[in-house]
């Protein structure tokens, strides 16, 4: 058999380090996706829901790595009628395996209702808050996610944990990249969550006690008669 000669001619600029790493991550995601698909087909029926979650999470990871990032302004944020119970269900489904592995109870209490916004962004924001709470929680404790409706129709979301709290010296830096109390943390989760809440004309605040902390988010419901008076992030230390 005659050998096949392949000649590669480089055209244009070489890939950046970020592009190379992103492509390598995409390849890893493709491998995991293939394994997850195989596992889902052969796994015991009682464990199949977890395998399905792994498959869905891997598909999302591959999507995020495949499509290039494009800056998006607030005006470009998708606006649709989003059911709060759908957001809470998605967050709960994604967090349940982590909570189980950490021996932390994930409790939810949903008051229902709808909100105008982007379900992907809202889910990611609530997930980031709840994930931070979960990672700060000791085994045997509870992370409580609660949604309520105000008299005016606004939505009030709270995430409570029984972790070690947040030092008062860090309160002024919360919501900025790099501000974190966790080893290996980046502060991105809280920063991204506050950005999404602000884009949805909402307010986010945190209350800290020892042990524990509580994050509150408020945004106008789709049937609300008014919107929050402020659209920003508030950090305070107190009971």
* Most confident of the following: 20-24, 41-45, 208-212, 214-218: 41-45
Residues near 141 by beta carbon (within 8 Å), at least 6 away in sequence: 104, 105, 161, 162, 163
Tell which residue, 189, 234, 219, has the closest CA to residue 117: 219
> Tell me, what's the pLDDT at 34?
80
User: What pLDDT, in 10s, does the model give residues 49-66?
Assistant: 888 888 888 888 777 777
Order of strands, edge to edge, in the sheet holding 203-208?
105-109, 142-149, 155-161, 213-219, 203-208, 233-235
Mean pLDDT of all residues belonging to the chain:
74
Q: Does residue 133 carry a pLDDT above 90?
A: no
Count the helices and strands in the chain (H runs, E runs): 5, 8
Joined tokens for residue 50: 């977890």
Q: How confident is the model at residue 69 (pLDDT cuts 50, 70, 90)?
A: low
User: What pLDDT, in 10s, does the model give residues 140-190?
Assistant: 999 999 998 888 778 888 998 887 766 666 666 665 665 666 666 666 777
Contact 113, 155 (CB under 8 A): yes
Distance CA 239, CA 237 (A): 7
> Tell me, what's the pLDDT at 108?
93
> Tell me, what's the pLDDT at 233?
40
Distance CA 22, CA 16 (A): 10
> Tell me, what's the pLDDT at 110?
92
Under DSSP, is residue 175 helix (H, G, I), strand (E, B) or coil?
A: coil
pTM exceeding the 0.85 threshold for the entire prediction: no
Q: How many residues does the chain have?
A: 239
């Amino acid at each position: 058999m005659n050998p096949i000669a392949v000649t590669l001619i480089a055209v244009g600029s070489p890939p950046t380090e970020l592009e190379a790493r992103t492509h390598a991550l995409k390849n890893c995601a493709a491998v995991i996706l293939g394994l997850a698909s195989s596992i889902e087909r052969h796994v015991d029926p009682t464990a199949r829901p977890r395998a399905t979650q792994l498959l869905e999470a891997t598909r999302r990871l591959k999507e995020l790595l495949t499509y290039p990032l494009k800056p998006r302004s607030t005006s470009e944020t998708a606006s649709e009628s989003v059911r709060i119970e759908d957001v809470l269900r998605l967050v709960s489904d994604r967090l349940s395996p982590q909570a189980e592995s950490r021996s932390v109870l994930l409790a939810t209490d949903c008051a229902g209702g709808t909100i105008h916004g982007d379900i992907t962004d809202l889910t990611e924001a609530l997930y980031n808050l709840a994930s931070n709470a979960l990672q700060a929680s000791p085994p045997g404790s509870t992370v409580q996610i609660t949604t309520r409706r105000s008299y005016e129709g606004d939505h009030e979301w709270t995430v409570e944990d029984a972790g070690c709290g947040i030092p008062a010296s860090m309160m002024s830096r919360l919501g900025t990249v790099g501000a974190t109390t966790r080893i290996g943390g980046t502060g991105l989760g809280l920063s991204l969550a506050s950005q999404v809440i602000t884009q949805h004309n909402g307010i986010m605040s945190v209350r800290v006690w020892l042990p524990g902390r509580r994050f509150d988010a408020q945004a106008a419901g789709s049937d609300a008669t008014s919107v929050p008076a402020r659209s920003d992030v508030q950090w305070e230390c107190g009971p």
